[in-house]
A and B are shown apart, each in its own frame.
Chain A
């Protein structure tokens, strides 16, 4: 009798966490299915880089995306600069295909909003992503924040803001917070023109900050246009 009581008590205590875990997995699959509804898109974007060692003006361009991981930025003959590994930029890559392990992370608050936290471990251990922590607005079924731990590129945080394209789970603005390595070239090679206050400010800033911010504003989307894989092939 005593043993039966202990078993029941153990079962009662364990039941909520099992239910939560199932909910988290279901939530992940529902979010993934919603995101997968967009097969490809072309977006007019404005990119701002806030990196201590980079002086790059805001760039306008067209961002092409095709499910699951093809991405291309075109700037009408101009140079495009994006954080390395485009997986940073696609929700689809942060929501890995196939079987995954989903761990319930409880709840958190983003902008005074209660969000559900799940942690996703990809089924395959060959990719660069080791773990993704995803904060989800359950009412609107939108991902508001991700924290991705990678093998080679440190931890990348991503904030997503939605407005016009909520129905497709496509953000209007994405902000990446990235870790930076040192940038230094020998002065003998670059033969810098120094003596400017700006340079001194830059140096001081660089010495302190090892983090950068990349903001992508999606001004307009054209969804499911039928982009082909060949379109994303690099021109040699």
Chain B
């Protein structure tokens, strides 16, 4: 099993397109950081308009912690796409190049293969998140320094003291890991139905975009289904930047995501077990 996982990871990290994801994450983070270096004060002035009418806010508002939060918010849609790039290719990619049947001639069970493919996709997603943490958090702190962090919600202005921020990022990245596991499981599930990787990748993105719209539109018609969508819970990492931290809600979101992950992986195993593999 470990040997197979090693082979899967070797395959993932030997493809040039795997590194495109790392490049894209770095590019987005750098663009935001450079934009903030050049014109961050205007952006902050605009963002704080509602509060600064009534309060004088002074000090290093535009610090590394805030920039990291902005980057994470921007990458909310992009990271799942990048995870889907690899996870969506896991089974469908093998099918398209005709190696899946050959792979299954080896002494490994089909559920075992699915689990190894899933684990490899999760490892890739985690490495992508670690890379994001280095580029977004590390570089932003290096460029802008640290300080108290301001979090603007739609109906509240939250300020977190400098010494109380870093642990929240570690917790947020850990939560994002759970969310990306769910995305990887979904992409893997779609991958089992296809014989080329484009379909699962685009399918995963399509599902995430549509469900995110349902989750964020806040229309009464979507209120009934919104709590059951995994996309509603994918932004649970933001809960760590509230005061006090809504642990109950975050735990609930994490459980929903894990249940979806298990459901997707289990469905993948069932479908893959029954699948007539012809290539």
**Chain A contacts to B: CB under 8 angstroms:** 53-57, 73, 75, 77-86, 178, 180-181, 183-193, 195-199, 202-203, 206
Residues from chain B with Cβ under 8 Å of A86 in the complex: 56
Instruction: Report A188 CB to chain B, min CB distance, Å.
Output: 6
CA A188 to CA B248, docked complex, whole Å: 24
Q: Which of B55, B56, B235 contacts A191 (CB 8 A)?
A: B235
Q: Is B270 an interface residue (CB 8 A)?
A: no
In the complex the two chains form, is A77's CB within 8 Å of B235's CB?
A: no
How many contacting A-B pairs (Cβ < 8 A)? 132
* Known A84-B54, A192-B238, A193-B238; contact A185-B148, beta-carbon cutoff 8 A: no
In the complex the two chains form, is B59's CB within 8 Å of A75's CB?
A: yes
In the complex the two chains form, is B156's CB within 8 Å of A55's CB?
A: yes
Q: Chain B contact residues: over half helix, strand or loop, or mixed?
A: mixed
Residues from chain A with Cβ under 8 Å of B51 in the complex: 54, 183
Size class of B's contact patch? 35 or more
Kindly specify which of B13-21, B118-126, B157-165, B261-269 makes contact with the partner chain. B157-165
Q: Is B206 an interface residue (CB 8 A)?
A: no
Kindly specify which of B94-102, B184-192, B239-247 makes contact with the partner chain. B239-247
In the complex the two chains form, is A82's CB within 8 Å of B55's CB?
A: yes
In the complex the two chains form, is B227's CB within 8 Å of A195's CB?
A: yes
In the complex the two chains form, is B153's CB within 8 Å of A84's CB?
A: no
CA A53 to CA B151, docked complex, whole Å: 12
Residues from chain B with Cβ under 8 Å of A191 in the complex: 73, 76, 216, 235, 238
Residues from chain A with Cβ under 8 Å of B58 in the complex: 73, 79-80
Minimal Cβ-Cβ distance residue in A for B145: A77
* Known A78-B147, A191-B216; contact A183-B56, beta-carbon cutoff 8 A: no
**Chain B contacts to A: CB under 8 angstroms:** 50-61, 73, 76, 145-148, 150, 152-162, 164, 216-218, 227, 232, 235-239, 242-244, 246, 248-249, 252-253
* Known A79-B147, A84-B55, A191-B216; contact A185-B161, beta-carbon cutoff 8 A: no
Minimal Cβ-Cβ distance residue in A for B235: A193
Offer 5 A-B interface pairs, CB within 8 angstroms, sorted by A. A55-B157, A56-B158, A82-B56, A187-B154, A197-B248
CA A184 to CA B169, docked complex, whole Å: 26
Residues from chain B with Cβ under 8 Å of A196 in the complex: 239, 242, 246, 248-249
Residues from chain B with Cβ under 8 Å of A84 in the complex: 52-56
* Known A54-B159, A193-B236, A202-B155; contact A185-B56, beta-carbon cutoff 8 A: no
CA A98 to CA B161, docked complex, whole Å: 43
CA A117 to CA B234, docked complex, whole Å: 59
From B52, B157, B237, residue with most partner A Cβ within 10 Å: B157
In the complex the two chains form, is B246's CB within 8 Å of A185's CB?
A: no
Minimal Cβ-Cβ distance residue in A for B53: A181
Q: Which of A57, A181, A193 contacts B159 (CB 8 A)?
A: A57
In the complex the two chains form, is A53's CB within 8 Å of B155's CB?
A: yes
In the complex the two chains form, is A77's CB within 8 Å of B59's CB?
A: yes
Residues from chain B with Cβ under 8 Å of A80 in the complex: 56-59
Known: A57-B161, A78-B147, A203-B155. 11 other contacts (CB 8 A): A53-B156, A55-B243, A78-B162, A79-B147, A79-B150, A81-B57, A83-B56, A181-B54, A184-B155, A193-B249, A199-B155
